């Protein structure tokens, strides 16, 4: 994976030193909060409900064992012994003291990590397919491009004060696991007419207040042109995007107001100019970066231990059925470690768990780890023969929950338990649903299902793209949960539709249960998933299950 | 006549630790909301907030609705209750130190 060169390391260290001085001046009273606030936000430090929160970027969700161990150390030494992994492939520490933050940032810098541009109207952490570089269905590893974008966007002088924050997601697979269409720029790798690799470029996607699917403005962009094209988009947006109204500042609104044809024409014009100006420096950089993403030295060994364990141990077999994804080598597997054990807070990992995962990555996974936007941790390259030993080690640490892609593998944002912007809690809702599903013992019967929960309209919990989405609102001081149905974050992207009136906090788990039971009755057979049944029948029968009394009232 | 003023307390976060704090009647910042001054009058609420905003070791000062409970003011809104108690997923925050039990 990518290692910082001297330039990166010096830059990050200099930023830490500068922030240390700023924190000192703030604590002495030489800086007011008004002056200090933008400075701390530049370094990923927020003020939340209970205190400060430090948001650290995990570039395109990739990290190695040393970095994971350092996160564990930071959590233990300066926080409360855990970290929260988010849908933007960041990690958040919820309890830092202001006076400790410079030390935390320095510890991050030691392992080539930082919190720069995890806030503010900048280009944020570029997110990527969490199976990048390993997936069987991948055209090419997209991470060299993601790293190029990271280097280009970090501290880019022209793009530090965009009209609004700017999110880019990339996948090297035609199957979209990176929710690219919900980003300001979505990049999905496709093959061109001659078999060469390139990107389908979409612009103006986003969730939040105005959920909208990104619009494809270039069905095929040769991979080599990626950087000038992305710069053309961002600089066009920087010129045209609105700065007078925060709610109209994202590029999705620019696209709407100027019209897709006009905006695309301006982007293409700018691209033609930038392409000449780049003179291929970007391609040289890409070639250099690419060497650092060479696949690990895969091992050849017999699969017998794997086959034997599968035959002998039903618990192991169940786990391999749900938590493995095909690797580009048939004798290897991609392992997803669930952070959604019963009772767990989605996305939280303790320092002990982080350390164990770092050790296991070292032992069985070529020292590579990934964080998914679904708030789980991935070991992307494990030989199948090593899976029984890996599973046994995970089991001992409460990390062997076999629920990936199932109903209890829920995305939930921190919600009102932590977030200053929240209108309702999300964590207890996720835990309540997971607990109920556990009691019913129907999870495997129900099969693939994506439940996503956000604690406010900002939609960090991706509720719009959940098969079942839940949005927590505040109705006259009381939590109220709105359900959306039929959302999809993949290549068959769809924004979920609101089902009807919201539910009180104590009504939301039973409401979800009614949906699940309705699905089991409505599906054609066991092979038809929840989302397929929904697409075939539409929302009506699900709404009838959600609002049974209303249905009767309507019929009367 | 203007709408009835709902009683408030002044709350903020401590600059260095970030911990949730409450302004008492004698100008001390307490970690316990039950020691806060319950302000019944709008003009005084504004004054106390201005005072809080001018304090150096305090950040994010604001007014929060409260009502008198058995041992002092209690938060009214869920958000303020969570700030006064801690998150619901772990025994962290105030509840960790035996406050609000
Ligand atoms: S969706 Fe709202 S409540 Fe949840 S993390 Fe985002 S801003 Fe906070």
pLDDT tens digit sequence for A78-96: 999 999 999 999 999 999 9
Share of chain A above pLDDT 90, in %: 92
CATH number at residue A309: 3.90.480.20
Using the predicted structure, report yes or no on whether residue B62 has a pLDDT greater than 50. Answer: yes
The model's confidence at residue A101, banded by pLDDT at 50, 70 and 90, is very high
Decide if B60 and A477 are in contact by the 8 Å CB cutoff.
Answer: no
Report if residue A380 sits inside a domain: yes
Q: Phi then psi for A286, rounded to 5 degrees?
A: -60, -45
Count of A-B CB contacts under 8 Å:
70
A471 lines ligand 1 (CB under 6 A): no
Co-location of A92 and A177 in the same domain: no
Boundary residue ending a domain (A361, A396, A431): A396
Cα A423 to Cα A472: distance, rounded to the nearest angstrom = 6
Dihedral Cα A143, A147, A152, A154, nearest 10 deg:
130
A487-545 confidence digits (pLDDT tens): 999 999 999 999 999 999 999 999 999 999 999 999 999 999 999 999 999 999 999 99
Atom of ligand 1 nearest to the CA of A420: 8
Residue owning the nearest CA to atom 2 of ligand 1:
A456
Question: A506 in contact with B at a CB cutoff of 8 Å?
Answer: no
Mean pLDDT of A21-33: 96
Decide if A345 and B76 are in contact by the 8 Å CB cutoff.
Answer: no
A467-502 confidence digits (pLDDT tens): 999 999 999 889 999 999 999 999 999 999 999 999
Q: Look at residue A40 in the predicted model and tell me its pLDDT.
A: 95
In chain A, the number of structural domains is 4
Using the predicted structure, report yes or no on whether residue A553 has a pLDDT greater than 50. Answer: no
Residues on chain A touching B15 (C-beta within 8 angstroms): 26-27, 98
Average pLDDT of chain A to the nearest whole number: 95
Q: Phi then psi for A249, rounded to 5 degrees?
A: -95, -15
Residue A180 C-alpha to ligand 1 middle, in angstroms? Answer: 20
The model's confidence at residue B9, banded by pLDDT at 50, 70 and 90, is very high
Report if residue A124 sits inside a domain: no
Question: A52 in contact with B at a CB cutoff of 8 Å?
Answer: yes
Co-location of A383 and A442 in the same domain: no
A379 lines ligand 1 (CB under 6 A): no
Co-location of A196 and A94 in the same domain: no
A384-399 confidence digits (pLDDT tens): 999 999 999 999 999 9
pTM, two decimals, is: 0.95
A459 lines ligand 1 (CB under 6 A): yes
Report if residue A498 sits inside a domain: yes
Residues on chain B touching A24 (C-beta within 8 angstroms): none
Residue A414 C-alpha to ligand 1 middle, in angstroms? Answer: 7
Decide if B89 and A428 are in contact by the 8 Å CB cutoff.
Answer: yes
Boundary residue ending a domain (A264, A293, A322): A293
Using the predicted structure, report yes or no on whether residue B98 has a pLDDT greater than 80. Answer: no
Q: Look at residue A3 in the predicted model and tell me its pLDDT.
A: 79
Residue B23: enclosing H or E segment and its boundaries? strand B20-23
Closest-CA residue of A relative to B95 is A50
Residue A98 C-alpha to ligand 1 middle, in angstroms? Answer: 22
Atom of ligand 1 nearest to the CA of A454: 1
Question: A81 in contact with B at a CB cutoff of 8 Å?
Answer: no
Question: A422 in contact with B at a CB cutoff of 8 Å?
Answer: yes
A414 lines ligand 1 (CB under 6 A): yes
Residue owning the nearest CA to atom 5 of ligand 1:
A413
Co-location of A284 and A148 in the same domain: yes
Decide if B88 and A27 are in contact by the 8 Å CB cutoff.
Answer: no
- Testing the interface with B: which of A40, A102, A417 to mutate, by most B Cβ within 10 A? A417
Quote the domain boundaries for residue A25. Answer: 6-110
Atom of ligand 1 nearest to the CA of A415: 3
Co-location of A392 and A445 in the same domain: no
A315-349 confidence digits (pLDDT tens): 999 999 999 999 999 999 999 999 999 999 999 99
Residue A210 C-alpha to ligand 1 middle, in angstroms? Answer: 15
Co-location of A98 and A46 in the same domain: yes
Q: Look at residue B101 in the predicted model and tell me its pLDDT.
A: 42
Report if residue A247 sits inside a domain: yes
Q: Look at residue A550 in the predicted model and tell me its pLDDT.
A: 59
* Beta-strand pair B8-14/A497-498: unpaired
Cα A393 to Cα A390: distance, rounded to the nearest angstrom = 5
Using the predicted structure, report yes or no on whether residue A551 has a pLDDT greater than 60. Answer: no
B20-58 confidence digits (pLDDT tens): 999 999 999 999 999 999 999 999 999 999 999 999 899
A325 lines ligand 1 (CB under 6 A): no
Long-range CB contact pairs, B36-40, < 8 A, 24+: B36/B9, B36/B10, B36/B11, B36/B66, B36/B72, B36/B73, B37/B9, B37/B10, B38/B7, B38/B8, B38/B9, B38/B66, B38/B67, B38/B68, B38/B72, B38/B73, B39/B7, B39/B8, B39/B9, B39/B10, B39/B63, B40/B5, B40/B7
Decide if B20 and A29 are in contact by the 8 Å CB cutoff.
Answer: no
| A47, A98, A418: residue with CB nearest B87 | A418
User: Does residue A256 sit in helix, strand or coil?
Assistant: helix
Co-location of A165 and A82 in the same domain: no
Co-location of A486 and A373 in the same domain: no
Co-location of A65 and A195 in the same domain: no
Using the predicted structure, report yes or no on whether residue B1 has a pLDDT greater than 50. Answer: no
Q: Look at residue A113 in the predicted model and tell me its pLDDT.
A: 95
Report if residue A153 sits inside a domain: yes
| B18, B57, B59: residue with CB nearest A97 | B18
Decide if B17 and A98 are in contact by the 8 Å CB cutoff.
Answer: yes
Boundary residue ending a domain (A293, A325, A342): A293
pLDDT: which is higher, A210 or B12: B12
**Best of A424, A428, A458 for a ligand 1 pocket test (most atoms within 8 Å of beta carbon):** A458
The model's confidence at residue B99, banded by pLDDT at 50, 70 and 90, is low
CATH number at residue A261: 3.30.413.10
Co-location of A222 and A277 in the same domain: yes
Residue A55 C-alpha to ligand 1 middle, in angstroms? Answer: 14
Decide if B20 and A422 are in contact by the 8 Å CB cutoff.
Answer: no
The model's confidence at residue B75, banded by pLDDT at 50, 70 and 90, is very high
Decide if A47 and B88 are in contact by the 8 Å CB cutoff.
Answer: no
Q: Look at residue A9 in the predicted model and tell me its pLDDT.
A: 84
Report if residue A128 sits inside a domain: no
Listed by start position, the domains of chain B span 8-88
Q: Are B48 and B10 in contact (CB under 8 A)?
A: yes
Helices (H), A241-345: 251-258, 260-278, 281-291, 304-312, 314-323
Residues on chain B touching A94 (C-beta within 8 angstroms): 92
Residues on chain A touching B19 (C-beta within 8 angstroms): 50-51
The model's confidence at residue B97, banded by pLDDT at 50, 70 and 90, is confident
Angle between helices A251-258 and A260-278 (to 10 degrees): 120
Question: A28 in contact with B at a CB cutoff of 8 Å?
Answer: no
- Testing the interface with A: which of B16, B21, B57 to mutate, by most A Cβ within 10 A? B16
Report if residue A122 sits inside a domain: no
The model's confidence at residue A71, banded by pLDDT at 50, 70 and 90, is very high
CA A187 to chain centre: 15
């Amino acid at each position: 994976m990518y290692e910082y060169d001297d330039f990166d390391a010096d830059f990050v260290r200099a930023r830490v030193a500068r922030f240390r001085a700023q924190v000192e001046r703030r604590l002495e009273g030489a800086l007011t909060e008004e002056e200090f606030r933008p400075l701390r936000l530049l370094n990923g430090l927020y003020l939340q409900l209970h205190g400060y929160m430090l948001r650290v970027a995990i570039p395109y969700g990739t990290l190695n064992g040393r970095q994971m161990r350092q996160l564990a150390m930071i959590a233990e030494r300066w926080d409360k012994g855990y970290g929260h992994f988010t849908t933007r492939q960041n990690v958040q520490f919820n309890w830092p003291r202001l006076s400790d933050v410079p030390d935390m940032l320095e510890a991050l810098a030691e392992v080539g990590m930082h919190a720069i541009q995890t806030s503010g109207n900048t280009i944020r952490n570029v997110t990527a397919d969490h199976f990048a570089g390993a997936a069987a269905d991948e055209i090419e590893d997209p991470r060299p491009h993601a790293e190029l974008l990271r280097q280009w966007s970090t501290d880019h002088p022209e793009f530090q004060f965009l009209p609004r924050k700017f999110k880019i997601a990339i996948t090297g697979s035609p199957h979209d696991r990176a929710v690219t269409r919900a980003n300001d720029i979505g990049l999905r790798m496709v093959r061109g007419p001659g078999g060469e690799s390139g990107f389908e470029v979409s612009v103006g996607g986003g969730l939040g207040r105005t959920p909208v699917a990104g619009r494809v403005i270039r069905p095929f962009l040769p991979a080599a042109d990626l950087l000038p094209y992305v710069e053309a988009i961002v600089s066009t947006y920087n010129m045209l995007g609105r700065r007078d109204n925060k709610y109209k500042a994202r590029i999705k609104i620019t696209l709407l107001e100027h019209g897709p044809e006009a905006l695309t024409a301006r982007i293409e014009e700018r691209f033609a100019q930038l392409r000449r100006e780049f003179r291929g420096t970007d391609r040289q950089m890409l070639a250099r970066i690419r060497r650092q993403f060479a696949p690990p030295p895969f091992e050849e060994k017999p699969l017998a231990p794997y086959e034997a364990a599968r035959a002998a141990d039903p618990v192991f077999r169940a786990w391999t059925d749900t938590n493995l994804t095909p690797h580009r080598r048939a004798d290897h597997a991609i392992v997803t470690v669930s952070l959604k054990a019963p009772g767990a807070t989605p996305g939280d990992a303790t320092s002990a768990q982080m350390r164990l995962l770092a050790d296991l990555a070292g032992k069985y996974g070529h020292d590579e780890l990934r964080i998914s936007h679904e708030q789980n941790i991935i070991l992307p390259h494990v030989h199948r023969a090593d899976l029984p030993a890996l599973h046994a080690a995970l089991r001992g640490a409460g990390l062997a929950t076999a629920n990936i892609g199932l109903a209890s593998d829920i995305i939930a944002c921190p919600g009102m338990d932590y977030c200053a912007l929240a209108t309702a809690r999300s964590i207890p809702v996720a835990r309540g649903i997971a607990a109920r599903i556990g009691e019913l013992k129907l999870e495997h019967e129900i099969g693939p299902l994506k439940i996503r929960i956000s604690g406010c309209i900002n939609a960090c919990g991706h509720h719009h793209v959940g098969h079942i989405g839940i949005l927590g609102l505040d109705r006259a001081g009381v939590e109220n949960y709105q359900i959306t149905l039929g959302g999809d974050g993949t290549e068959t992207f769809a924004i979920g539709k609101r089902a009807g009136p919201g539910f009180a906090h104590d009504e939301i788990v039973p409401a979800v249960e009614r949906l699940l039971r309705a699905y089991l009755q409505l599906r054609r057979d066991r092979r038809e998933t929840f989302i397929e049944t929904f697409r075939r029948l539409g929302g009506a029968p699900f709404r009838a299950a959600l609002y049974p009394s209303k249905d009767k009232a309507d019929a009367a | 006549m203007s709408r009835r003023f709902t009683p408030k307390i002044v709350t903020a976060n401590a600059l260095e630790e970030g911990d949730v704090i409450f302004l008492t009647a004698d100008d001390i910042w307490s970690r316990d909301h039950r020691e806060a001054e319950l302000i019944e009058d709008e003009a005084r609420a504004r004054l106390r907030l201005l005072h809080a905003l001018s304090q150096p070791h305090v950040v994010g000062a604001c007014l929060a609705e409260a009502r008198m409970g058995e041992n002092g003011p209690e938060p009214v809104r869920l958000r303020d209750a969570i700030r006064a108690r801690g998150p619901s997923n772990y025994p962290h925050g105030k509840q960790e130190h035996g406050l609000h039990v």
